[in-house]
Amino acid sequence: MLNRSRITRCLAIALAASLCNIVPPAGSYDMTEVQHGGTLDGRVTLSGPAPEPKGFNLITFPDPAYCGRISNGKGWRLLHDFTVDSEGGLKHAIVTLEGIEAGKPFDLSVPLIEARDCMFQPWVTIVRNGHAVEVVNMDPVMHDIQGYETSPEAGARVLFNIPLILNQQHQRGNLRAIHNHAPGKSLVGPIYLNKGRRTFYMQCGFHAYMESWAMAVNNPYYAITDDQGTFKIEHVPPGTYQMIVWHPQSGPGVTRTITIAPDGATTEQVALPAPKGSRTAYKVMENPRFGLESLGHPIEIQPLVEHQH
């Protein structure tokens, strides 16, 4: 279990250091009792076939045997950045309501992201601008945490780049070891996004297949779609708002104007476009240069945790 008092101290130090250079924007949301609130629910689908997962050859990155615990059995790690069910329901889409200045309580907790089996969990989360994100390492290998703010127009800007030391409590060298141990040292990184930017992106500098995405929100009226692409936002103050639906890999997203009636329920069906054509240089391919023999020494990569398809 995490030592919350230690994390609070770390967070205070991190935020104090950042305040020397950057002043966070003033909050514009007030918490109040919602009278006759309504509900927004619905489903997000992917319009078009889901793209093939990105493929990363494990021998080109550190720790191929350990990170290969999740792989396709042929030395490749797959990044499934689109999760779609049999009816097109899209997981990991974020739905937000813009323009709500007062309403239900706003959870101020710092989101926790785990590095586990060379994968960030969760892959999509919510952050609050001016607050922070916490990362803990469950792996017996070192990670390099690189945090960026990003937008399609301006590209990425580095927010922090900090090593995350290996977890000494894990049974290092035992590829069959499970994560039944305490988290490693906690890293708390403050997030101050420039005006107009809403997207936070985190990647491991050692293992490029480790990604985590987040959207910064201004109020607590948001949801992340489940395995079937469904979502629900409750206790919405009656009124007319902008609904934004966004997925990290599906372009700028969709914006609609919706009206929430007192004590009413509004249902929205949204289709996000699937990317077309070649979208990445990371692809699974048969190439002798990427074979295990190219390392010059014996190595065995076994998908002991998950055999990817």
Task: State the DSSP string of the chain.
Answer: ---HHHHHHHHHHHHHHHHTT-PPPPP--EE-PPSS-EEEEEEEEEESPPPPPEEEEGGGSS-HHHHTTEE-SSSEEEE----B-TT-BBTT-EEEEES--EES----PPPEEEE-SS-EESSEEEE-TTSEEEEEE-SSS-EEEEEEEEETTTEEEEEEEEEE---TTS-TT-TT--S-S----EEEEE--PPTT--EEEEEESS-TT-EEEEEE-SSS-EEE--TTSEEEEEEEPSEEEEEEEE-TTSTT-EEEEEEEPTT-EEEEEEEEEPP-S---S------GGGSGGGGSS------SSEE--
In the prediction, which pLDDT does 128 show? 86
* Dist CA 56 CA 211 (whole Å): 13
Give Cβ neighbours of residue 65 (< 8 Å, ≥ 6 apart): 175, 299, 300, 301, 302
The whole domain housing 301 covers 4-307
Number of domains into which the chain is organized: 1
First to last CA, the chain: 33
Provide the pLDDT confidence category of residue 8 given band limits of 50, 70 and 90.
very low
pLDDT at 262 over 70: yes
Give Cβ neighbours of residue 303 (< 8 Å, ≥ 6 apart): 68, 69, 70, 71, 72, 73
Burial of 237 (0-12, 13-18, 19+ CB in 10 A): buried
Share of the chain above pLDDT 90, in %: 66
Q: CA geometry: angle at 181 spanning 175 and 183, to 5°?
A: 105
For the stretch 61-109, pLDDT in tens is 999 999 999 999 888 999 999 999 999 999 999 999 999 999 999 977 8
Find tokens 């889409």 and name the residue: 93
Task: Provide mean pLDDT across the span 249-269.
Answer: 95
Provide the pLDDT confidence category of residue 194 given band limits of 50, 70 and 90.
confident
Residue of 276 and 48 predicted with greater confidence: 48
pLDDT at 155 over 80: no
* Dist CA 105 CA 23 (whole Å): 24
Task: Provide mean pLDDT across the span 285-305.
Answer: 72
Q: Is the dihedral of CA 235, 237, 239, 245 positive or negative?
A: negative
pLDDT at 179 over 50: yes
Least confident of 92-106, 163-177, 231-245: 163-177
